[in-house]
């Protein structure tokens, strides 16, 4: 941590910072130049953070040198992590496709979507039973009935399930059905929810908040890790910008940036970022090329009647191309496409 003193700060101001830091058990090293005084600090960063140094007289700026997230950082673990979801790996050597409907609507629609997901090269099934909708009048999901449908479809197809949880009080219930818990963009900074999924004993997919910086996203992941759960996959799903041609702007650079800062896998959601079916394949190609560890894609057998996000769902005729893109681009980026697990024998 470095404290930059204001140009008009007095010697007493600098001495005050030094004594506060030393009283807190840290060390302070003062460098004076003609126009500025800079104080380098060492010691327990969390302890130093309680000193409220930016508010001290004469302090112009306090710059953190080490990152404000530890467990998920590459300083903590140099090698990139592999997270297993019902036995399916997500990590640096594989490309894992997750696909399924935005929302679970009926048993038939969910099963058909799962078969579509398999045809698209997916090894994990997505589908929301609890939907965090912007409008309170929109379909909110089937709740536990939806979870049961997902479990039935998993039994039939062998695909482990990724499903969202929006309320901390539902985490235990959702975790009894899900292979991976999803925290959506609207809940990225719902700290009680992050702590609850951190204690749920299941892998977590953490979507980037649509207005969150990469650092905020990683600090959100740290909340989960701090509760003892390091099985976290980050998902870039587009951010809010001035651009209106797409639902959100896919921040493709977030993939290599987050992978450099964190050991956690990073996947991309081309469906919720683009918000349009015709963009899903181009954005999927971009995601794979940039080095994403996977993609998560919406599919629907009848998007025209979908209760949620129909315009972005891939249809039957798109699946072969997505499968081919995933299969053929993977080796070009040093990965293999993760195969779908076989259904358990009845
Ligand atoms: C979803 O994946 O169904 C979803 C709601 O996504 P997001 O949180 O990215 O909007
Ligand atoms: Mn959706």
Write out pLDDT tens, residues 296-327.
Answer: 999 999 999 999 999 999 999 999 999 999 99
Per-residue model confidence (pLDDT) at position 1: 86
- Residue in 204, 237, 267, 309 to alter for ligand 1 test, most ligand atoms within 8 A of Cβ: 237
- Say if residue 17's pLDDT is above 80: yes
Give, using CA atoms, the residue closest to atom 6 of ligand 1. Answer: 184
Confidence of residue 178 (pLDDT cuts 50, 70, 90): very high
64, pLDDT greater than 90: no
Q: Tell me, in angstroms, the distance from the centre of ligand 1 to residue 291's CA.
A: 21
Ligand 1 atom at shortest distance from the alpha carbon of 187? 8
Going by C-alpha positions, the residue among 291, 292, 310 that lies closest to residue 301 is 310
Average pLDDT over residues 240-248: 97
- The pLDDT value given to residue 36: 84
pLDDT tens digits along 250-274: 999 999 999 999 999 999 999 999 9
Q: Which architecture characterizes domain 83-337 according to CATH?
A: Alpha-Beta Barrel (3.20)
Ranges of each domain in the chain: 2-63, 83-337
Query: What torsion, rounded to 10 degrees, do the Cα atoms 33, 65, 62, 214 define?
Result: 140
Question: Residue 71: which pLDDT band, with cuts at 50, 70 and 90?
Answer: very high
Average pLDDT for 100-122: 98
Q: Which atom of ligand 1 is nearest to the CA of 103?
A: 3
Q: How far apart are CA 213 and CA 254, in angstroms?
A: 9
pLDDT tens digits, one per residue of 25-41 = 999 988 887 778 889 88
Instruction: Give residue 47's pLDDT band: very low, low, confident or very high (50, 70, 90).
Output: confident
CA 92 to ligand 2 centroid distance, Å: 26
Distance 159 CA to ligand 2 centre (A): 19
Q: Could you read off the pLDDT of 219-228 as tens digits, one per residue? A: 999 999 999 9
**Mean pLDDT over residues 99-124, rounded?**
98
The DSSP symbol for 44 reads -
Residue 311: the pLDDT is: 97
Using CA atoms, how far residue 293 sits from 20, 188, 260, 310, in Å, is 45, 20, 13, 25
Tokens of 78: 């140099």
86: pLDDT strictly greater than 90: yes
Residue 184 CA, closest ligand 1 atom number:
8
In this structure, which residue's CA is closest to atom 4 in ligand 1?
184
* Cα gap 343→111, rounded to integer Å: 13
Which fold, 2-63? Answer: Alpha-Beta Plaits (3.30.70)
Predicted confidence at residue 111, as pLDDT, reads 98
Q: Are 300 and 109 in contact (CB under 8 A)?
A: yes
> Considering the chain, what is the average pLDDT of its residues?
96
Closest among 185, 118, 101, 188 to 158, alpha carbons compared? 118
216 pLDDT higher than 90: yes
Instruction: Tell me which of 54-68, 89-103, 189-203, 227-241 is least confident.
Output: 54-68
Q: Is the pLDDT of residue 205 over 80?
A: yes
Cβ atoms 157, 125 nearer than 8 A: yes
Largest CA distance in the chain: 79
- The C-alpha atoms of residue 324 and residue 318 are separated, in whole angstroms, by 10
Tokens matching residue 50: 């309680």
Find the 117 Cα to ligand 1 centroid distance in Å: 17
Pick the ligand that lies closest to the CA of residue 235. 1
Which atom of ligand 1 lies nearest, measured to the CA of 186?
8
Cα(303) to ligand 2 centroid in Å equals 12
| CA-nearest residue, atom 9 of ligand 1 | 185
| Whether pLDDT at 92 is above 70 | yes
- Which contiguous run of DSSP H or E holds residue 259? helix 254-261
Q: Which residues line ligand 1 (CB under 6 A)?
A: 102, 128, 132, 184-186, 207, 237, 269, 272
Angle at 91 between CA 87 and CA 97, to 5 degrees: 70
Please provide the DSSP assignment of 97-129 as one string. Answer: EEEE-SB---HHHHHHHHHHHHHTT-SEEE-BS
Q: What percent helix, strand, coil does the chain show, rounded to 5?
A: 40, 20, 40
pLDDT at 346: 59
Whether 169 shows a pLDDT value over 80: the answer reads: yes
Stretch among 67-71, 113-117, 144-148 having the lowest mean pLDDT: 67-71
The sign one gets for the Cα dihedral 180, 293, 117, 331 is: negative
pLDDT at 132 over 80: yes
Q: How confident is the model at residue 290 (pLDDT cuts 50, 70, 90)?
A: very high
Common-topology check for domains 2-63 and 83-337: no
User: From the alpha carbon of 102, which atom of ligand 1 is closest?
Assistant: 3
CA of 39 to the centre of ligand 1 (A): 44
pLDDT tens profile 148-160:
999 999 999 999 9
């Amino acid at each position: 941590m470095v404290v930059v003193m204001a140009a008009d700060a007095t010697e007493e101001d600098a001495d005050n910072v030094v004594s506060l830091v030393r009283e807190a058990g840290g060390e302070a090293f003062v460098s004076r130049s003609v126009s500025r005084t800079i104080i380098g600090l060492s010691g327990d960063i969390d302890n130093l953070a309680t000193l409220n140094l930016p508010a001290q007289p004469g302090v112009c700026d306090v710059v953190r040198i080490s990152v404000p997230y530890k467990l998920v950082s590459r300083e903590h673990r140099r090698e990139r992590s592999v997270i297993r979801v019902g036995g399916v790996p997500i990590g640096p050597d594989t490309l894992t496709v997750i696909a399924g409907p935005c929302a679970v609507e009926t048993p038939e629609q969910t099963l058909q979507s799962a078969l579509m997901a398999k045809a698209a090269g997916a090894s994990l099934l997505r589908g929301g039973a609890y939907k965090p909708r912007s409008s309170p009048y929109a379909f909110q999901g089937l709740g536990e009935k939806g979870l049961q449908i997902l479990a039935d479809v998993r039994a039939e197809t062998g695909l482990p399930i990724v499903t969202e949880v929006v309320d901390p009080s539902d985490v235990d219930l959702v975790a009894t059905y899900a292979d991976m818990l999803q925290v959506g963009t609207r809940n990225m900074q719902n700290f009680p929810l992050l702590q609850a999924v951190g204690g749920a004993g299941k892998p977590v997919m953490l979507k980037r908040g649509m207005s969150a910086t990469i650092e905020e996203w990683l600090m959100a992941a740290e909340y989960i890790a701090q509760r003892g759960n390091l099985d976290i996959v980050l998902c870039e799903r587009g951010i809010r910008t001035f651009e209106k041609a797409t639902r959100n702007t896919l921040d493709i650079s977030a993939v290599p940036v987050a992978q450099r800062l964190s050991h956690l896998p990073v996947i991309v959601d081309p469906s919720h970022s683009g918000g349009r079916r015709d963009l899903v394949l181009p954005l999927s190609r971009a995601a794979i090329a940039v080095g994403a560890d996977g993609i998560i894609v919406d599919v629907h057998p009848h998007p025209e009647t979908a209760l949620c996000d129909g315009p972005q769902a891939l249809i039957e005729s798109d699946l072969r191309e997505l499968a081919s893109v995933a299969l053929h681009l993977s080796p070009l980026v040093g990965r293999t496409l993760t195969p779908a697990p076989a259904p358990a024998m009845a």
